[in-house]
Chains A and B, each alone.
Chain A
Amino acid sequence: MKRFSALALLRAGLDGQKSWPRDWRDPEPRKHYDVVIIGGGGHGLATAYYLAKTHGVRSVAVLERASIGGGNTGRNTTIVRSNYRQPALQRLLEFSLKTWEGLSDELNYNLMFSQRGALFLGHSDADMTKLAERGDSLRCVGIDAQLMTRRQVARLIPLLDISPNARFPVVGGLIQRRGGTARHDAVAWGYARAADALGVDVIQNCEVTGFDITDGRVHGVRTSRGSVGADRVGLCVAGNSGLVAAMAGLKLPIESHLLQAFVSEPVKPMIDTVIMSQSVHCYISQSDKGELGLGGDPDHYPTYSQRGSPHRIDEVAAQAIAMVPALSRLRMLRSWSGTTDMSFDGSPIIGATPIDGLYLNGGWCYGGFKATPGSGRLYAHHLATGAAHAIAAPFSLERFALGATIDEAGAGPLPQAR
């Protein structure tokens, strides 16, 4: 791996930047690995990196059926924060947020991680009571949270409609200053490059089509490019979790649904904070390129179509314009969707499955980008040591049978209730 630095950039300028090597190799799958990771999204690549880096497990392959980062990693709206309400989620996502801080340096790859602040708007006294309670619970465990008045919110985001007769009146907000956004593709590429440098085989265009399982133990996977043996196999396939698990004869507490996102034409900087509203559900941020990225509710039914319903576009646009009227002058450039792995309590599943040697990382719903570094570290710990890390332990697959669900929304066991 040739390290990126100002000097290296200057030197490479002498030959028109042509001397850069490829960021990761394009290896043929070997006959056997200690660990095979299925799915080259951010979670799979991060897991491979920490297996090699932290645990010294270097015989690792990441098998990706298409190109890395082309799944939800490359489709999400990149919001990173740790201001959740359930203690187990607070620990998990703060562990991840701490890893984000300093990750660009560690990977020697610019993830464009921008701690621009993530703000929840409060639209009523009831909203503010809930936000205050959330803020208190966060500060009790050492996670930053600051309650804001209407005037403070208006100063932070001057384009917000804070007039008393606004469609969604703004009463105040709760901000996590350390929250923000990151460049999603760079996360996949940065982890792939760093993992490759440690000897991990990142193998693209290699689809897993089955498992080699005898006596309840996995011995490897079958792929579109032949059989690959493995002592341990880790799933990291997000919206395809159910389909890949079915190849091993498992049924999971996961349904595949769909979440859309939208992006506007690029404009000069107009919003430098992530704006969210848990009452309205629309969220807004502006990328460094100048595009406004918008999202809202998922489509609320099982689908692998990756094709969202147009009524959601109407709804999100209407909400966004009501909150920031200046957006009405912008044209939308693109809309797209990703297949989200909706779990039955809204929280992820990280850990062992009933099959020896087969592990699951999934059920991240529409919120797993922020968790990428933390999830990679915790899953690597489990794959390397055979035991769950304390932070990951509550997120076991058994929690559903045990009644120990982690239900942030308090909405009961339905994936569309998130």
Chain B
Amino acid sequence: MMLIACPHCGPRAHVEFTYERTMDAILSVDVDPDTAVAILFQRENPRGPSQELWRHTYGCRSWLRLTRNTVTHDLAEVVAWPPA
């Protein structure tokens, strides 16, 4: 189980957090349809470091950006998102 250090609440058990999507999968409303399809449905699905959007759902409910290794689950970075 991961211990995720929320920048607002401190280290908390991973069961308080939910994975939302990878950072490259955040859609803005003004892109053309092909780009939208790529953002919504095409994933690198990396084995190793990955940039992900998570949420401290059962805590402060803030969005967080994680740099997380998908094999070891090491967390290189947990920061507030969007940046202030």
Residues of chain A having any CB pair with chain B under 8 Å: 241-243, 246, 251-256, 300-305, 309-311, 344, 400-401, 413-414, 416
Contact A251 B52, CB 8 Å, known A305-B70, A310-B1: no
Instruction: Please pick, from B13, B15, B42, the residue contacting A251 in the complex, using a CB distance under 8 A.
Output: B42
Q: Which B residues lie within 8 Å of A246 (CB)?
A: 44-45
A311 touches B1 (CB 8 A): yes
Selected A-B contacts with CB under 8 Å, 9 pairs: A242-B45, A252-B42, A253-B43, A302-B50, A303-B71, A305-B70, A309-B1, A344-B40, A400-B41
Taking the closest CB of chain A, its distance from the CB of B7, in whole angstroms, is 19
B43 touches A252 (CB 8 A): yes
Q: Which A residues lie within 8 Å of B28 (CB)?
A: none
CA–CA, A304 and B47, complex, Å: 7
Q: Which B residues lie within 8 Å of A309 (CB)?
A: 1-2, 14-15
Q: Which A residues lie within 8 Å of B45 (CB)?
A: 241-243, 246, 251-252, 254-256, 302
Residues of chain B having any CB pair with chain A under 8 Å: 1-2, 13-15, 18-22, 37-38, 40-47, 50, 52, 70-73
Contact A344 B41, CB 8 Å, known A301-B19, A304-B71, A305-B72: yes
Taking the closest CB of chain A, its distance from the CB of B71, in whole angstroms, is 5
Q: Which A residues lie within 8 Å of B19 (CB)?
A: 300-302, 416
B43 touches A242 (CB 8 A): yes
**Which of A241, A251, A302, A305 has most B Cβ within 10 Å?**
A302
Q: Which B residues lie within 8 Å of A303 (CB)?
A: 70-71, 73
Q: Which B residues lie within 8 Å of A243 (CB)?
A: 45, 47
CA–CA, A311 and B3, complex, Å: 13
B37 touches A242 (CB 8 A): no
CA–CA, A414 and B68, complex, Å: 19
8 smallest CB-CB distances across A and B, nearest first, come from A242-B45, A301-B19, A251-B42, A253-B41, A400-B41, A401-B37, A309-B1, A304-B47
CA–CA, A401 and B43, complex, Å: 14
CA–CA, A109 and B1, complex, Å: 41
Closest to B73 in A: A305
Q: Which A residues lie within 8 Å of B41 (CB)?
A: 253, 344, 400-401, 413
CA–CA, A21 and B25, complex, Å: 52
Q: Which B residues lie within 8 Å of A254 (CB)?
A: 43, 45
Closest to B38 in A: A251
Contact A253 B70, CB 8 Å, known A302-B50, A304-B47, A309-B1: no
Apart from A254-B43, A303-B70, 20 more pairs, CB < 8 Å = A241-B45, A242-B46, A243-B47, A251-B43, A253-B41, A253-B42, A253-B43, A255-B43, A300-B18, A300-B19, A302-B19, A302-B22, A302-B50, A304-B47, A305-B72, A309-B14, A400-B41, A401-B37, A414-B21, A416-B18
B44 touches A242 (CB 8 A): yes
Taking the closest CB of chain B, its distance from the CB of A335, in whole angstroms, is 14
CA–CA, A251 and B46, complex, Å: 10
Q: Which B residues lie within 8 Å of A344 (CB)?
A: 40-41
Closest to B40 in A: A413
Q: Which B residues lie within 8 Å of A414 (CB)?
A: 20-21
Instruction: Please pick, from A251, A305, A400, A401, the residue contacting B44 in the complex, using a CB distance under 8 A.
Output: A251
CA–CA, A255 and B50, complex, Å: 12
Q: Which B residues lie within 8 Å of A416 (CB)?
A: 18-19
Taking the closest CB of chain A, its distance from the CB of B12, in whole angstroms, is 13
